[in-house]
Amino acid sequence: MKKSRWQRWAVLGGLLAVMGAVMVVWRSPLWAAEGMWTFDNPPLQQWKARYDFVPTQAWLNHVRLSSLRFNNGGSGSFVSPHGLVLTNHHIALSELQKLSTAQHNYVQEGFYAPTEAQELKCPGLEVDQLVSMENVTAKVQGAVKPGMSDVQALQARRAEIAAIERQSLKATGLRSDVVTLYDGGEYWLYRYKKYTDIRLVFDPGQQIAFFGGSWDNFTYPRYDLDFAVFRLYEHGKPVDSSADYFHWSRRGAQPGQLVFVSGNPGRTDREDTVAQLKLLRDQIFPLDLASLKSHRAALEHYSAAGPEQAREASEMIFFIDNSIKALTGMEKGLKDPELMALKERQEAAFKARVAANPAWETAYGNAWAQIAQAEKEYAAHLKQLRFRSLEFSPLAEQALTIALYVQQIRKPDADRLPGFHDAQLPSLRFRLLSPAPVYPKMEEALLADTLSESLAELGPNDPFVHAALEGQSPEEAAKHAIQGTQLASVAFRKSLLSGGEAAVAASKDPLIVFVRRLLPFVLQEQKWYDDHVDSIVTAAGQKLGQARFAVYGKSVYPDATFTLRLAYGTVKGYPMNGTIAPPFTTFYGLYDRAYSFGLKHPFNLPQRFLQAKRRLKLSTPYDFVSTCDIIGGNSGSPVINRRGNLVGLIFDGDIESLPGDFVYDEKQNRAVAVDTTAIIEALRHVYHADALANELEGQRANTSP
Amino acid sequence: MKKSRWQRWAVLGGLLAVMGAVMVVWRSPLWAAEGMWTFDNPPLQQWKARYDFVPTQAWLNHVRLSSLRFNNGGSGSFVSPHGLVLTNHHIALSELQKLSTAQHNYVQEGFYAPTEAQELKCPGLEVDQLVSMENVTAKVQGAVKPGMSDVQALQARRAEIAAIERQSLKATGLRSDVVTLYDGGEYWLYRYKKYTDIRLVFDPGQQIAFFGGSWDNFTYPRYDLDFAVFRLYEHGKPVDSSADYFHWSRRGAQPGQLVFVSGNPGRTDREDTVAQLKLLRDQIFPLDLASLKSHRAALEHYSAAGPEQAREASEMIFFIDNSIKALTGMEKGLKDPELMALKERQEAAFKARVAANPAWETAYGNAWAQIAQAEKEYAAHLKQLRFRSLEFSPLAEQALTIALYVQQIRKPDADRLPGFHDAQLPSLRFRLLSPAPVYPKMEEALLADTLSESLAELGPNDPFVHAALEGQSPEEAAKHAIQGTQLASVAFRKSLLSGGEAAVAASKDPLIVFVRRLLPFVLQEQKWYDDHVDSIVTAAGQKLGQARFAVYGKSVYPDATFTLRLAYGTVKGYPMNGTIAPPFTTFYGLYDRAYSFGLKHPFNLPQRFLQAKRRLKLSTPYDFVSTCDIIGGNSGSPVINRRGNLVGLIFDGDIESLPGDFVYDEKQNRAVAVDTTAIIEALRHVYHADALANELEGQRANTSP
């Protein structure tokens, strides 16, 4: 499944954490430090051979249970026995935004609750802990009967997956997701303990968390204190996490040290075929980049109206900038003739292995050609798919999802569109009923831009465009749809969901009226995509996944699926732009970069950092890099040493890691993390947050807040 | 003239300051901040339009007379009324090396003479001040008579140039060089006041001057305090430079400020034809890089014998590392398809302009084809030219030059090889009689490596190889040539020079015997190169130069010729590796980079810098970048503001500037300089060199040393 349109732009958590990808990866097991390994299959041989490291099953379980997933696209971990959770400021960002008011901008000011009573509850946030993993491959694959067409097989698998999830949810009460791994070579039922009472404890303020802004984003050497601390509650009390949490390392990361990253990489495309990569390179990326730039310009225009507008738009601009930089880096990777040549060699070698075995050739040999053919159709249909949509207009998209929801849930679970199965409904409802603030004027600007693009790309006679505009200009149409809508109200959305199809059909809300007109086209495009691309590519991809199983076994890791994985590597600099990047940076470097730009935005320092200069030990390690193989969705992941102690907090990759979506290169691919030493130094000497520092360092009992 | 073999590897001053290039450049005058302009033709229109800056002739004269050229390949300037001269540590390096002994390693320790009496005299150094410029184009071009062949024309021009230089030297006593500009579109007689009594005043020590070593070399952000201070003397007294010296700016460089660089860029190849660039890319650079790596390995092997050997070899290893990095960067530029496409478009446009005018087409139209043909022959002959030589064996090369010298000076001036004309003899003798220490064992290792390469590339039956080895292994041949030679002795070299051909012919010195055997081949190769490449490319290049004059006029600047030029630009950061490089760095950054590598070499700090940490104002600007168009040979050039005050000292370019040999790109090409603020901060608070700081800041009278 390549691009479900409402997943493609889920640019959450500051990285392209697009969920649900089911591409597969294979790699020679000799390739060092590579891989996002599932917990049932860590690369024990590599660890033993390269680092003389042999973890116990208890070690693995402890790491898994100490690790967490944020439903907004990031990762985190327990870091105290009393439910303290460490993640990134940029993962907390959407929560901080929601908590902020005209009086208090926690995004900028930062926040600290010295006592539990002062902690702030975050509505709309869900944190998951992976408590069990069960292989259900036989069941899912068994649902496909001989003689079924590809489309029938896809539906049979979907139905079986939905049934497994439903039964598990019913039996255990746990969030239950069937995860497709190895292109369908394996299916696993992951059960999560779900936390929804999440309270903000500490936030250092965006200026220091995101020091260097969009410029420094995705780069290294780096000087970001990108962390935030939450506390999980259950039944009104802090969660007892004493059984599984990461102990804090006071020494932080050491150059040359073996480290692990336990987190939820969102998506990789490492086993895209060459045909798929070329489509991305030549058509999809250029189209996406043009769209993003258009939306960015619309938001800039909106921001220019005043400081309040600028504040409203800033989060989305940040996400867009991130996406532009990320896509540009990925596109650059694909444009690198060496990378493409490597991919071609790998594919040729894999094809040859398959072709050499008559049984394999019969079963899998035509998969490449099938994908290439589907991609060709996809390419021809691309503009229609892309521009018959409301993506990047959050409120209109939400209205559309409500209209879909009430229609889909009336169908048997198996017949529904992806994203609307029973097991997915709680999270979906949670999202649709989020009390996050809505800015109607900004929504109007975004919708106008989206419609303008559709008009420009598809022309006025396209039926979707026709239905959307009804003869008006995009600006007029957006104005009519947004002005007077009640969809900003959670209660109204709730009433629609509970009112069902009848309520939606009867609604005179202008935005609902608007999306009702568009619904048939959206469904039609989804069906076209399912029939002509998704089902074929998924089936052929499954063949390739099985072929890879046949050829390479489980010596390889599956492509990322925003589920828990273990990466490993060493703390290590790398050759960069003619010189060498250091394994870590220091507080000295923060001040250097700030002063070397004359303290101008985005290199300005918060006042408290200017004042704290003399109190800090400036040579304290600040951010560091390791060879761990990560990608978007890993934001907020713990970095631990072989003893399982926390030495850092992942928050980004270097610019050279962006092609990591397609290929891992240990020479320059680096994961960027905040060092635990920097967090403590700043908490104690900049923020005077000794109570929190003490709790993190395991001394909670010794201090009163 | 493309590659005279004894100029090609003149890797002096830390950059590829290869002298004597006579290629031409043209460029649209709209291209901002580009150009190395002669003082007779500064880009006044651009300055007026872009910066509202209109210098007086007095300003230009003052800048010219305050600027200096170091004969070892660098630049410098007067910075006090009492003959103080500022240049780079890496330009002073060869002098520091010569002054050093087993007891005092001034390269490492640094040096400071608080009083004039303590200043150290530097033998073998010459500093030139450009005191007059005269256009002699008509004379030189007039020497060519109708009906002359290309070879005859070349000789006629050479003879005329030699005559002009000789007459000027005789008439004025000043060093007199005819400089070929615009591919022979213009010839200028430059007269220099020559200084040879040069004394070392201050050297900060290589660790801080070259902080980051080969890693950081040619890169930015940078943290090098790459300066050294000399004082020029005449008749035993400090030179009175009160009329023309650069006043010191206490504010240093300001971001966005207009600045100028007045120095001596060594060589550019911006108007190489596409055929020439492809030869460089495909054959010459790969060959050169392989040679350099071989020589480096030989020196590493030699260094491994002990600390004394390592010390002896360090300077040459440094130069080789520099050259490898520089050549790699240049090669990377040529391998960039966009750069080559740009070059092809420019060449096509120029060709079209010429072709559109019948008279131009007749006169110049065949030049491209002639160069392409000569380059083709050059390519076929390349290995023979490159490996029938002793380059990179300094002592053997010196012996060979002595053997050539005594032979050449017997001929009429006009008939001599380039480099042996009367006007060039004083500097040549100065170099041949340099008292710099010679390390025979290292010379032996280098000669053995050179001979091994010749053997491997040309085979044992090549007559040069045969004559060099006489059946021995390269190691044996090198041993026999070097062991027992007296050429390390200045007196012996002097006796050969004064003894002339007879003395050289009669000498039984093994190295002289050795080079005597090789001399015929060297002469033969030089003649082949002159006849088949140099004369043709020079003549065709002259046609192109004249064509460019016809098409573009003097709105363009000539390729670099290691003569005084003015570059201009603004102090400005640039997009780099996914983010932005700042306009300047600070002392904070020095400590960051040092600690982020655990203070390990080459990122270790001198003890005095570790101790001075608390005394320094760490936000003081340290190094900065500007868009000024510079290249090797500009090392040590002053950076001045529009008032003519000194704000910095050029010492390098960024990695993105390396393709600047072929093309200037304002987007990323940056000149890297030490800020005057950093020099004063370090002199006062690290080195306690207040007397020197006071003199630089113009307060000499207020202090006693």
- Would you state the pLDDT for residue B552? 85
CB within 8 Å: B595 and A216 = no
Residue A574 with chain B: CB contacts under 8 Å = none
In this model, does residue A281 exceed pLDDT 50?
yes
B286-to-B272, B330, B452, B575, B661 alpha-carbon distances in Å: 18, 11, 18, 29, 17
Do B418 and B502 lie in a common domain?
yes
What is the ipTM, given to two decimal places? 0.81
Taking a C-beta distance cutoff of 8 angstroms, is the pair B246, B626 a contact?
no
CA angle B356, B357, B362 (to 5 degrees): 115
Render pLDDT for B495-510 as a digit per residue (tens, 0 to 9): 999 999 999 999 999 9
Do B188 and B234 lie in a common domain?
no
Of B526, B550, B574, which marks where a domain is finished? B550
- The rounded mean pLDDT for chain A is 90
Estimate the share of chain B in helix, then strand, then coil, as percent rounded to the nearest 5: 50, 15, 35
Do A247 and A114 lie in a common domain?
yes
CB of B317 within 8 Å of any CB in chain A?
no
Residue A654 with chain B: CB contacts under 8 Å = 578
Domain that holds residue A645: 5-126+196-269+559-702
CB of B216 within 8 Å of any CB in chain A?
yes
The Cα–Cα gap between A406 and A410 comes to 7
- Would you state the pLDDT for residue A32? 55
The Cα–Cα gap between B35 and B634 comes to 13
CB of A74 within 8 Å of any CB in chain B?
no
How close A255 gets to chain B, by Cα (Å)?
A: 9
In this model, does residue A3 exceed pLDDT 80?
no
Q: Which of B585, B597, B655 sits opposite A596 (nearest CB)?
A: B585
User: Rounded mean pLDDT of A222-232?
Assistant: 98
Do B527 and B599 lie in a common domain?
no
CA angle A218, A220, A222 (to 5 degrees): 100
How close A163 gets to chain B, by Cα (Å)?
A: 46
Do the domain assignments include residue A333?
A: no
Strands A621-626 and A671-675: antiparallel
Amino acid (one-letter) located at B317: I
pTM: 0.82
CB within 8 Å: A329 and B578 = yes
- Would you state the pLDDT for residue B272? 86
Do A212 and A85 lie in a common domain?
yes
Do A495 and A439 lie in a common domain?
yes
CB within 8 Å: B596 and A589 = yes
Of A173, A193, A213, which marks where a domain is finished? A193
Q: Which of B582, B588, B655 sits opposite A578 (nearest CB)?
A: B655
What is the band of A700 on the pLDDT scale with cuts at 50, 70, 90? low
Taking a C-beta distance cutoff of 8 angstroms, is the pair B106, B100 a contact?
yes
Do the domain assignments include residue A490?
A: yes
Instruction: Give one word for B14, left, alpha or beta, with left for phi > 0 and alpha for psi -120 to 50.
Output: left
Do the domain assignments include residue A364?
A: no
- Would you state the pLDDT for residue B32? 55
CB of A578 within 8 Å of any CB in chain B?
yes
Taking a C-beta distance cutoff of 8 angstroms, is the pair A214, A90 a contact?
no
Q: Which of A221, A580, A597 sits opposite B215 (nearest CB)?
A: A580
In this model, does residue A704 exceed pLDDT 60?
no
Residue of B nearest to A585 (CA): B596
CA B693 vs. chain centroid, Å, equals 29
> Three-state SS string across A404-470, please?
HHHHHCCCCHHHCCCCCCHHHHHHHHHHHCCCCCCCHHHHHHHHHHHHHHHHHHHCCCCHHHHHHHC
Amino acid (one-letter) located at A531: D
Do B585 and B438 lie in a common domain?
no
Do the domain assignments include residue A10?
A: yes
Residue with tokens 């998209």: A397
- Would you state the pLDDT for residue B429? 87
Of B518, B550, B582, which marks where a domain is finished? B550
Which token pair is A241?
A: 């996490």
- Would you state the pLDDT for residue B661? 84
CB within 8 Å: B593 and A584 = no
Residue of A nearest to B595 (CA): A619
Do B501 and B582 lie in a common domain?
no
Do B155 and B253 lie in a common domain?
no
Q: Which of A216, A579, A583 sits opposite B215 (nearest CB)?
A: A579
Residue B672 with chain A: CB contacts under 8 Å = none
Do B564 and B541 lie in a common domain?
no
Do the domain assignments include residue A169?
A: yes
CB of B219 within 8 Å of any CB in chain A?
yes
A108-to-A674, B383, B619 alpha-carbon distances in Å: 19, 65, 25
The Cα–Cα gap between B180 and B164 comes to 13
Domains in chain B, number: 3
Which token pair is B220?
A: 């930015």
Render pLDDT for A348-377 as a digit per residue (tens, 0 to 9): 999 999 999 999 999 999 999 999 999 999
CB within 8 Å: B596 and A580 = no
CB of A20 within 8 Å of any CB in chain B?
no
Tell me the CATH number at A681. Answer: 2.40.10.120
Do the domain assignments include residue A331?
A: no
Taking a C-beta distance cutoff of 8 angstroms, is the pair B603, B545 a contact?
no
Give me Rg for the CA atoms of chain A. Answer: 25
Residue of A nearest to B215 (CA): A579
Residue with tokens 């060493």: A570
Do A183 and A201 lie in a common domain?
no
CB within 8 Å: A619 and B218 = no
The Cα–Cα gap between B158 and B164 comes to 10
To test the contact with chain B by mutation, choose from A215, A577, A587 the residue with the greatest count of B C-beta atoms within 10 A, namely A577
φ, ψ for residue A144, nearest 5 deg: -85, 120
Q: Which of A221, A573, A619 sits opposite B595 (nearest CB)?
A: A619
CB of A579 within 8 Å of any CB in chain B?
yes
The Cα–Cα gap between B314 and B643 comes to 40
CB within 8 Å: B588 and A588 = yes
Establish how many alpha carbons lie within 13 A of residue A302's alpha carbon, considering only the half-sphere containing its beta carbon: 26
What is the band of A22 on the pLDDT scale with cuts at 50, 70, 90? very low
What is the band of A163 on the pLDDT scale with cuts at 50, 70, 90? very high
To test the contact with chain A by mutation, choose from B579, B600, B620 the residue with the greatest count of A C-beta atoms within 10 A, namely B579
Do the domain assignments include residue B170?
A: yes
Ranges of chain B with pLDDT below 50: 1-31, 702-705
The Cα–Cα gap between A663 and A341 comes to 12
Residue with tokens 């249909």: A381
In this model, does residue A13 exceed pLDDT 90?
no
Do A216 and A95 lie in a common domain?
yes
* DSSP summary character for residue B114: S
Do the domain assignments include residue A180?
A: yes
Render pLDDT for A641-681 as a digit per residue (tens, 0 to 9): 999 999 999 999 999 998 888 888 888 899 999 999 999 99
Contacts of B599 (CB under 8 A, 6+ apart): B605
